[in-house]
């Protein structure tokens, strides 16, 4: 299971403006940006202590972040916990009655495999589980 708060994701329409707000105005250091085509997002990473803020913008005006912005405007989008065995966690949580937004894990930023717990089954919070490369027990990391 191996939990830590991997990141807090905030949906933004304008990534550059959001980077200026968090990095320049609030002083949170920017570690970098990454396009995640599988999620149709551009993401900026700002480490804070043992976790990080992720600013997430739509990559091409489509996808779940664009739909979120259209429906609710920008704001807190999801929180993410790390896991060392995503497949086992998905199986266990499904057994407890939780639903995921997809049947299978998908590729996330930094080479992760990720899956999202549906907010309808988590009291309204979209919760991501992320397995980092090398952390799966079968890979010996």
Q: Does 128 bind Zn ion (CB under 5 A)?
A: yes
Count the site residues for Zn ion by CB under 5 A: 3
CB of 9 to Zn ion, least distance (A): 4
Q: Does 115 bind Zn ion (CB under 5 A)?
A: no
Q: Does 9 bind Zn ion (CB under 5 A)?
A: yes
Q: Does 129 bind Zn ion (CB under 5 A)?
A: no
- List the one residue from 18, 46, 55, 80 that touches Zn ion (CB under 5 A): 80
Residue closer to Zn ion, measured from CB, 93 or 108: 108
| H helices, E strands: number in the chain | 3, 8
Q: Does 131 bind Zn ion (CB under 5 A)?
A: no
CB of 114 to Zn ion, least distance (A): 7
Confirm if 55 and 44 have CB atoms less than 8 A apart: yes
DSSP E strand boundaries for the chain: 5-11, 32-36, 41-48, 51-58, 75-82, 106-107, 113-117, 127-131
Which helix (H) or strand (E) segment holds residue 15: the answer is helix 15-19
Confirm if 89 and 105 have CB atoms less than 8 A apart: no
CB of 24 to Zn ion, least distance (A): 23
CB of 103 to Zn ion, least distance (A): 19
Binding site for Zn ion (CB under 5 A): 9, 80, 128
């Amino acid at each position: 299971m191996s939990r830590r708060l991997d990141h807090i994701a905030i949906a933004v329409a304008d990534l550059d403006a959001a980077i200026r707000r968090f990095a320049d105005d609030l002083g949170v250091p920017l570690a970098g940006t990454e396009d995640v085509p599988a999620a149709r997002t551009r993401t900026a990473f700002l480490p804070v202590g043992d976790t990080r803020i992720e600013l997430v913008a739509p990559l091409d005006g489509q996808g779940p972040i664009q739909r979120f912005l259209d429906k609710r405007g920008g704001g807190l989008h999801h929180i993410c916990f790390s896991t060392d065995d995503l497949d086992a966690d998905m199986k266990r949580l499904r057994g407890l009655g939780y639903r995921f937004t997809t049947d299978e894990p998908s590729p996330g930023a930094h080479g992760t495999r990720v899956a999202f717990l549906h907010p309808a089954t988590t009291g309204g919070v979209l919760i991501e589980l992320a397995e980092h490369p090398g952390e799966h027990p079968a890979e010996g990391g």
